């Protein structure tokens, strides 16, 4: 992962999920509410963005592609 840590916590990212959201991330499907998995994934993504700096990944180093 090519990212820079914003704080000193290198090994932990905390996310508060509902029981349904946690189950959805393990592969359980909620046919009545398909947005459960999307909401859980968004919470995880937001937590990573708060912890790591991904802004420099927008640029492609074309020398590495050769």
**What tens digit of pLDDT does each residue of 38-61 get?**
999 999 999 988 887 766 655 666
Question: Domain spans of the chain?
Answer: 17-51
Task: Report d(CA 38, CA 44) in Å as an integer.
Answer: 10
Identify whether the C-beta of residue 35 lies closer than 8 Å to the C-beta of residue 20.
Answer: no
Question: φ and ψ at 53, to 5 degrees?
Answer: -100, 105
CA atoms in the 13 A half-sphere facing the CB of 4: 5
Can you give the pLDDT at residue 34?
87
Rg (CA), the chain: 16
Position 10 scores a pLDDT of: 60
Q: For residue 43, what are its two tokens?
A: 């919470």
- The pLDDT tens digits for 8-35 are 546 688 999 999 999 999 999 999 898 9
pLDDT at 23 (0 to 100)? 96
């Amino acid at each position: 992962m090519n990212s820079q840590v914003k704080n000193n916590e290198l090994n932990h990212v905390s996310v508060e999920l509902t029981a349904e959201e946690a189950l959805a991330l393990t592969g359980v499907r909620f046919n009545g509410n398909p947005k459960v998995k999307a909401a859980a994934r968004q919470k995880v993504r937001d937590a990573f963005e708060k912890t790591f700096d991904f802004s420099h990944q927008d640029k492609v180093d074309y020398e590495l592609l050769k």
